[in-house]
């Protein structure tokens, strides 16, 4: 019966032959993350973000907000007014929407109205960050989707506060209208910024080749 290393040392002292045990390497070199793999991962996240953004835009603006017009006598929701709105329009809208209808608009703002700008903003930040190498230009392009997220989320809160008031307040209406217009403008500018980033990314790849 073979002796254990402890038994061999006890019998032979320092002359005992103790077999050496070699542990397998902890890190598998075949799993090293290459730049190509990192780029592929970023592309997959970008594709998922773009698809999610398109779906949420359709769900929010083309489906849900349009359906709410059934509760307002055919009047469009403030979010859909690309050119803004005035106190007279809001007074008419408030008269057409009861408490339940306003509650549904508030719920839309808290769900799809919040998810859309956040997911769109994150996707566009990633797109610009992985495509633009010049730091100053990258930050300049990043500012557009960041401002879009702020304008849309702030606009949601401003519209809810405006609709909850007993009568249209000129200051509330002006703030909500301005943020709504700013949100649409910044959405278009964000799309243009993403296009610029995509063009720069292709130019950089061609230069490397």
Q: Write down the domain spans for the chain.
A: 85-209
Q: What is the pLDDT of residues 119-152, one digit of tens each?
A: 999 999 999 999 999 999 999 999 999 999 999 9
Lowest-confidence pick of 25-34, 69-78, 98-107, 117-126 = 25-34
For residue 23, pLDDT beyond 80: no
Q: How far apart are CA 61 and CA 80, in angstroms?
A: 7
As a whole number, mean pLDDT of residues 11-19 equals 56
pLDDT of residue 5: 56
Q: What is the pLDDT of residues 80-100, one digit of tens each?
A: 999 999 999 999 999 999 999
As a whole number, mean pLDDT of residues 21-35 equals 54
For residue 67, pLDDT beyond 60: yes
On whether the CB atoms of residues 145 and 50 are closer than 8 A, the answer is: no
For residue 16, pLDDT beyond 80: no
Tokens of 57: 């835009």
pLDDT of residue 201: 82
106 contacts: CB under 8 Å, gap ≥ 6: 160, 163
CA distances from 69 to 77, 95, 104, 208 (A): 7, 13, 11, 53
Whole-angstrom Cα Rg for the chain? 29
Per-residue confidence at 101, pLDDT binned at 50, 70, 90? very high
pLDDT of residue 63: 97
**pTM exceeding the 0.85 threshold for the entire prediction:** no
Q: What is the pLDDT of residues 145-189, one digit of tens each?
A: 999 999 999 999 999 999 999 889 999 999 999 999 999 999 999
């Amino acid at each position: 019966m073979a002796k254990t290393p402890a038994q061999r040392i006890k019998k032979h002292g320092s002359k005992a032959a103790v077999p050496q045990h070699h542990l397998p390497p902890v890190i598998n070199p075949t799993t090293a993350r290459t730049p190509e793999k990192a780029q592929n991962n970023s592309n997959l996240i970008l594709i998922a973000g773009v698809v999610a953004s398109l779906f949420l835009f359709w769900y929010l603006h083309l489906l849900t907000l349009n359906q709410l017009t059934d509760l307002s006598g055919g009047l469009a929701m403030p979010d859909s007014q690309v050119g803004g709105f005035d106190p007279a329009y809001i007074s008419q809208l408030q008269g057409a929407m009861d408490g339940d209808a306003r509650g549904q608009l508030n719920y839309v703002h808290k769900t799809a109205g919040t998810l859309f700008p956040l997911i769109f903003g994150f996707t566009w930040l990633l797109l610009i960050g992985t495509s633009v190498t010049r730091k100053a230009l990258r930050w300049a392009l990043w500012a557009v989707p960041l401002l879009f997220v702020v304008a849309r989320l702030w606009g949601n809160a401003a519209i809810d506060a405006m609709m909850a008031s007993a009568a249209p307040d000129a200051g509330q209406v002006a703030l909500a209208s301005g943020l709504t217009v700013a949100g649409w403008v910044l959405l278009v500018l964000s799309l243009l910024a993403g296009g610029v980033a995509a063009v720069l990314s292709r130019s950089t790849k061609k230069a490397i080749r």
